[in-house]
């Protein structure tokens, strides 16, 4: 160990201002002891405004479970920006993300990324995963909500002949439907997968009524359901499952287990949200936001997240999911008051950790950034 340390110091003296790690990175771009990285191996354009980016992660990555997501970082104008994306490839394979061109980071990933590029990574996480024990499944997806479910289907259907999966996938047109051809091919190849496409341009918005869902999947009530898509789509699904649970509970003789029995009768619904409702700050006044370490001041309104305020001002802001789930954006509140845009709750305790992606100024604010 002592000899190694002496060698490292000697190497550093010869390579200053670069480090030995910098030279190793020339031979292996994903090598870094400070930041997990991945090298892009392939880019496949799925639709006119979306692409799947395959990458080989470096040391420190752990294999993802089907349905999980990961934070991906890219450099924009010299500032590293992070976003969260569902992993769309099957578990057990090198990861991939499927990205729609909607936002500055997504635009760069879809339009500019090429094999050999290096991505900054954080390990996969998330609880939107397949059940531990085999169950009949109903997948409800809309738009890019298919991405985590595609990972589940690619993982489960070819490997488990006893799997029983029904997918109801809503999109505006066939041309904008991610993975449409692959899904149809899988359904033709594997009898344990049934795919129901719903195109809103021809049929209108998918209505979450018991009859409509039964027309697409007659035994939907007995299946474990997974839903991912736009907020309105998920709210409608949630409403239907709650209504059915209430009906079942009313039919059950009241006792201490009635709620559990009703839930079992209607099956479970697991939801993955790509966004969250941030309307609790609407109509409120903002304030002057001071980023103390960056020596910047910005006048902010009362309904824009502090994360967006800081990024627009050029402040390096930690971030992850951008919807209050992963807590990667936590920073100390030096002084002032902020409002949680999900609940309207006020926070004003100095030193308190706040989530900048779901908090807005509610008066003057000083942040430790």
Q: Is residue 45 part of a domain?
A: no
Q: Is residue 118 part of a domain?
A: no
pLDDT digits (tens, 9 = 90+) for 35-65: 899 999 999 999 999 999 999 999 889 999 9
Confidence check: pLDDT of 114 > 90: yes
Q: Residue 233: which pLDDT band, with cuts at 50, 70 and 90? A: very high
Domain that holds residue 163: 136-273
Q: Is residue 205 part of a domain?
A: yes
Q: Residue 1: which pLDDT band, with cuts at 50, 70 and 90? A: very low
Q: Is residue 150 part of a domain?
A: yes
- Tell me, yes or no, whether 229 and 322 share the same domain: no
Q: Is residue 51 part of a domain?
A: no
- Tell me, yes or no, whether 249 and 320 share the same domain: no
Which CATH number belongs to the domain containing residue 192 in this structure? 3.40.50.80
- Tell me, yes or no, whether 297 and 337 share the same domain: yes
- Tell me, yes or no, whether 244 and 310 share the same domain: no
pLDDT digits (tens, 9 = 90+) for 301-331: 998 899 888 888 888 888 766 777 777 788 8
Q: Is residue 357 part of a domain?
A: yes
Of all residues in the chain, what percent carry a pLDDT higher than 90? 61
Which CATH number belongs to the domain containing residue 353 in this structure? 3.10.20.30
Confidence check: pLDDT of 2 > 90: no
Confidence check: pLDDT of 17 > 70: no
- Tell me, yes or no, whether 362 and 264 share the same domain: no
Q: Is residue 186 part of a domain?
A: yes
- Tell me, yes or no, whether 257 and 337 share the same domain: no
Q: Look up residue 125 and give its two tokens.
A: 């996480």
- Tell me, yes or no, whether 244 and 157 share the same domain: yes
- Tell me, yes or no, whether 141 and 269 share the same domain: yes
pLDDT digits (tens, 9 = 90+) for 179-192: 999 999 999 999 99
> HSE on the CB side for 151, CA within 13 Å?
30
């Amino acid at each position: 160990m002592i000899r190694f340390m002496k060698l490292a110091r000697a190497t550093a003296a010869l390579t200053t201002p670069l480090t030995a790690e910098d030279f190793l990175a020339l031979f292996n771009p994903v090598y870094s002891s400070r930041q997990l990285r991945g090298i892009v191996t392939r880019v496949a354009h799925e639709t006119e405004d979306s692409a799947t980016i395959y990458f080989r992660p470096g040391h420190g990555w752990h294999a993802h479970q089907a349905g999980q997501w990961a934070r991906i970082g890219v450099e924009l104008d010299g500032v590293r920006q992070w976003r969260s994306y569902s992993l769309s490839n099957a578990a057990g394979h090198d990861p991939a993300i499927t990205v729609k061109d909607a936002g500055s980071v997504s635009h760069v990933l879809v339009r500019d990324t090429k094999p050999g590029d290096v991505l900054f990574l954080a390990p996969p996480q998330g609880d939107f995963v397949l059940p531990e024990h085999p169950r009949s499944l109903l997948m409800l997806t809309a738009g890019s909500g298919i991405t985590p479910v595609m990972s589940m289907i690619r993982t489960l259907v070819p490997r488990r002949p006893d799997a029983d999966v029904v997918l109801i996938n809503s999109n505006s047109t066939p041309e904008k439907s991610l993975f449409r051809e692959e899904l149809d091919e899988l359904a033709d190849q594997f009898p344990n997968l049934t795919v129901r496409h719903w195109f809103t341009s021809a049929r209108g918005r998918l209505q979450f009524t018991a009859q409509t869902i039964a027309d697409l999947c007659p035994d939907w009530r007995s299946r474990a359901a997974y839903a991912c898509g736009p907020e309105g789509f998920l709210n409608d699904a949630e409403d239907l499952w709650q209504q059915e649970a209430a009906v079942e509970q009313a039919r059950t003789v009241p006792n201490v287990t009635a709620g559990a029995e009703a839930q079992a009768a209607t099956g479970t619904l697991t939801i993955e949200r790509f966004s969250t409702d941030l309307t609790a700050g609407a109509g409120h006044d903002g304030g002057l936001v001071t980023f103390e370490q960056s020596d910047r001041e910005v006048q902010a309104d009362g309904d824009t997240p502090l994360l967006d305020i800081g990024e627009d001002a050029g402040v390096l802001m930690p971030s992850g999911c951008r919807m209050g789930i992963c807590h990667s954006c936590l920073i100390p509140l030096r002084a002032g008051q902020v409002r949680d845009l999900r609940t309207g709750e006020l926070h004003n305790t100095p030193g308190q950790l706040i989530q900048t992606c779901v908090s807005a100024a509610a008066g003057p604010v000083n942040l430790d950034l």
